Amino acid sequence: MRRTPLLFLAVCILAACGNNHQPTATTDSIPNREWWKEAVVYQLYPRSFKDGDGDGVGDLKGILSKLDYLKSLGIDVVWLNPIYSSPNDDNGYDISDYRNIMKEFGTMEDFDRLLKEMHQRNIKLVMDLVVNHSSDEHSWFKQSRSSRNNPFRNYYHWWNAERGKPTPRWSFFDVNSDAWKYDSLTNSYYLHYFSRKQPDLNWENPQVRQEVYNIMKFWLDKGIDGFRMDAFQFVAKDTTWPAFPPGYDRNIIKYYGMGPHLHEYLQEMNREVASKYKMMTVAEGAGSTLQDAMDLVDPDRHELNMAYHFEGMDVGHFDPNYSLPEFKNVYSKWDSAFAQKGWVSIFLGNHDQPRMVSHWGNDSPAFRELSSKMLTTFIMTMRGTPYYYNGDELGMVNIKFSTIGDYRDIATINSYQHLKATGGDTAAFLQANKRSSRDNGRTPFQWDSSANAGFTTGTPWLKINPDYTTVNAAAEENDPNSVLNYFRKVVKLRKENLVLVYGGYTVLDRDNPDVYAYTRELNGRQLLVLLNFKGKIAAVKTGADLSHAKILLGNYPDPSTDGNLKPYEAVIYALE
Ligand code: NOJ
């Protein structure tokens, strides 16, 4: 096999080969093109991004001061986690006023300026819509609980205690895992799938749905570009409250997800809101089957734009020695289910997950950068809209707290308390949470090597990862080979090669335990992506003659061309 001269490869990479690629003459023939399919979404967790006023909590002024950074990434859309008024039982996912800004985050003037300045930079803004539940401090709930006859009573799910105890429902965040909370004021129980301070809204009440549509219009009329809909698969409920079989809580999506009338509600929302604006919609979760997901996003049904499924998150959640073929099977299965119609999201991190490099890569100093770049290559070369979580572009890693006192996340804290109260193994719990806790993904963004990583001049609300002295944006900015600059290159490559957005996907050497290999093909143009998921040299059989392939990008200065990949190597080739 003829080897491509290394000098050629080096020149090719320095010149960012592929970035000057002529768009295929036939892009007009791509059916069903949409801006939200071609966009790269950057998820911004405001509490941890940048503190503008020194109180230790990220805020809108902080984001405003970093808009040029966001622009420099090449991303198209920012998904902003909730910034609405909230007592912060669950970091903003407990909203007490949907038309106001959380005090810690700033004012509506700050928001208006943020939106305007993002749009000036051609960055779209997608907001979180959290309407499975509100805060118990929302005026609706205060009214609702005040008496059984209050006009807002039916905004939530109540069960009168004289009927006995309601059918058990499991709660994600409750210390007793009980989703029914007794309220002596009206001698009734209310439902809360999440914390006690997050009572579930009653979507079966048409007034509630109208309230939600009006809230959506309020923000859309300001000019925002879409919604990520929190816990949306749970909103519809069977209010006859049937009993679920023992162990249902181990398969909660099956029992809580895709309740009766969900599709009617989504179609109503689409008619009343989405169809009237140029916007994108993505719901968190996609049911428990591929058909569930398709039913949400089949364009003929007029519900949502794209599915955001979690099946990939389960692979290796607790196990660093997860099976790569299992990982490949999940993504290959989802790709083929949506190859003809519908659309999915591709992500490896968000604010509910540990850091992607600690989960699927290798966060040791030797391999952190290489494996971060490799995972970034995966996200940016799959079919589906990439959702990239802030901080992953620096290769941020899990903080791995040792004591419960360091955690701030209600999910981790309440599970720990539950375990302690029931005599469980708290030491094992703490060990497991070094890998899986949500706080691993929430530590403040590492801007530079100054005190508190340049995140705040105050005391940060959550400890900062001590590796910030070397892992930070300022240091990476100055290093052409940094994770940050690699991210920019691969985003640019995706934007300039529609084959990476729309091209057909074919997995190769599927059972290979170390390497993920696939092609993307569109109108005769074929790209090959090779990703070594292991910290050792690994061989892959693709059948392609790589010696003639053009290298578009790689995470080593001398990308492999003989099918033997270096540890955590990632290469994107254009096959002639
Ligand atoms: C999903 C959100 O992503 C998570 O952060 C939150 O705790 C729950 N929904 C409840 O809103």
Residue 546: pLDDT above 90? yes
Distance 23 CA to ligand 1 centre (A): 40
Rounded percentage of the chain residues whose pLDDT exceeds 70: 95
194 Cα nearest atom in ligand 1: 10
Q: What is the average per-residue pLDDT within 33-39?
A: 98
Q: What is the average per-residue pLDDT within 128-149?
A: 98
Residue 353: pLDDT above 60? yes
Give 1's pLDDT tier (boundaries 50, 70, 90): very low
231 Cα nearest atom in ligand 1: 9
Out of 130, 227, 235, 256, mutate this one to test ligand 1's pocket (max ligand atoms within 8 Å of CB): namely 130
93 Cα nearest atom in ligand 1: 11
Please write the tens of the pLDDT for every residue from 210-251.
999 999 999 999 999 999 999 999 999 999 999 999 999 999
- Provide the angle, in degrees to the nearest 10, between the axes of the packed helices 483-496 and 368-381: 20
d(CA 422, CA 414): 12
One-letter amino acid at 99 equals R
Please provide the DSSP assignment of 460-503 as one string.
-SSPPPGGGGTSSHHHHHT-TTSHHHHHHHHHHHHHH-THHHHS
Rounded percentage of the chain residues whose pLDDT exceeds 90: 94
Q: What is the average per-residue pLDDT within 457-465?
A: 98
Give 19's pLDDT tier (boundaries 50, 70, 90): very low
Please write the tens of the pLDDT for every residue from 403-454.
999 999 999 999 999 999 999 999 999 999 999 999 999 999 999 999 999 9
Q: Which pLDDT score, from 0 to 100, does residue 12 have?
A: 33
Q: Is the beta carbon of 409 within 6 A of some atom in ligand 1?
A: no
Q: Is the beta carbon of 174 within 6 A of some atom in ligand 1?
A: no
Residue 111: pLDDT above 70? yes
Q: Is the beta carbon of 284 within 6 A of some atom in ligand 1?
A: yes
d(CA 476, CA 108): 33
Q: Among candidates 119, 150, 163, 155, which has minimal Cα distance to 135?
A: 155
> How many CB atoms lie under 10 A from the CB of residue 531?
27
Distance 513 CA to ligand 1 centre (A): 33
Q: What is the average per-residue pLDDT within 299-324?
A: 95
Protein residue whose Cα sits closest to atom 11 of ligand 1: 93
Distance 90 CA to ligand 1 centre (A): 8
Which tokens belong to 373?
């770049």
Distance 130 CA to ligand 1 centre (A): 8
Distance 562 CA to ligand 1 centre (A): 45
Residue 15: pLDDT above 70? no
Q: Which pLDDT score, from 0 to 100, does residue 29 have?
A: 85
From the number of C-beta atoms within 10 Å of its C-beta (0-12, 13-18, 19+), residue 277 rates as middle
Protein residue whose Cα sits closest to atom 10 of ligand 1: 93
Residue 27: pLDDT above 70? no
Q: Is the beta carbon of 216 within 6 A of some atom in ligand 1?
A: no
Q: Which pLDDT score, from 0 to 100, does residue 6 have?
A: 31
For residues 105-135, one letter each, b for 16 or more C-beta atoms within 10 angstroms of the residue's C-beta and e for the rest, the string is bbeeebbeebbeebeeeebbbbbbbbbbbbb
Q: Which pLDDT score, from 0 to 100, does residue 318 have?
A: 86
Out of 197, 230, 256, 347, mutate this one to test ligand 1's pocket (max ligand atoms within 8 Å of CB): namely 230
Q: Is the beta carbon of 128 within 6 A of some atom in ligand 1?
A: no
With residue 565 as reference, give the H or E element that holds it. Answer: strand 564-565
Out of 256, 352, 413, 439, mutate this one to test ligand 1's pocket (max ligand atoms within 8 Å of CB): namely 352
Distance 95 CA to ligand 1 centre (A): 12
Distance 93 CA to ligand 1 centre (A): 6
Residue 256: pLDDT above 90? yes
Please write the tens of the pLDDT for every residue from 387-407.
999 999 999 999 999 999 999
Q: Is the beta carbon of 279 within 6 A of some atom in ligand 1?
A: no
Give 26's pLDDT tier (boundaries 50, 70, 90): low
Please write the tens of the pLDDT for every residue from 149-194.
999 999 999 999 999 999 999 999 999 999 999 999 999 999 999 9
Distance 519 CA to ligand 1 centre (A): 35
Q: Which pLDDT score, from 0 to 100, does residue 276 have?
A: 98
- Half-sphere exposure (Cβ direction) of 283: Cα atoms closer than 13 Å: 26
Q: Is the beta carbon of 306 within 6 A of some atom in ligand 1?
A: no
Residue 31: pLDDT above 80? yes
Which tokens belong to 197?
């301070």
Q: What is the average per-residue pLDDT within 275-287?
A: 96
State pTM to two decimals.
Answer: 0.95
Q: What is the average per-residue pLDDT within 481-504?
A: 98
> How many CB atoms lie under 10 A from the CB of residue 2?
8
Out of 126, 131, 173, 194, mutate this one to test ligand 1's pocket (max ligand atoms within 8 Å of CB): namely 194
Residues serving a catalytic function are 230, 284
Q: Is the beta carbon of 208 within 6 A of some atom in ligand 1?
A: no
Q: Is the beta carbon of 130 within 6 A of some atom in ligand 1?
A: yes
Q: What is the average per-residue pLDDT within 38-65?
A: 98
Distance 231 CA to ligand 1 centre (A): 7
H-state helical runs in 259-396: 262-272, 290-297, 311-314, 324-337, 356-359, 368-381
Per-chain mean pLDDT for the chain: 94
Which tokens belong to 553?
């990008």
Residue 3: pLDDT above 80? no
Give 292's pLDDT tier (boundaries 50, 70, 90): very high
Distance 45 CA to ligand 1 centre (A): 12
Out of 43, 93, 95, 440, mutate this one to test ligand 1's pocket (max ligand atoms within 8 Å of CB): namely 93
- Provide the angle, in degrees to the nearest 10, between the axes of the packed helices 290-297 and 262-272: 20
Q: What is the average per-residue pLDDT within 333-343?
A: 98
Q: Which pLDDT score, from 0 to 100, does residue 5 have?
A: 32
d(CA 369, CA 357): 9
Q: Is the beta carbon of 77 within 6 A of some atom in ligand 1?
A: no
Q: Is the beta carbon of 95 within 6 A of some atom in ligand 1?
A: no
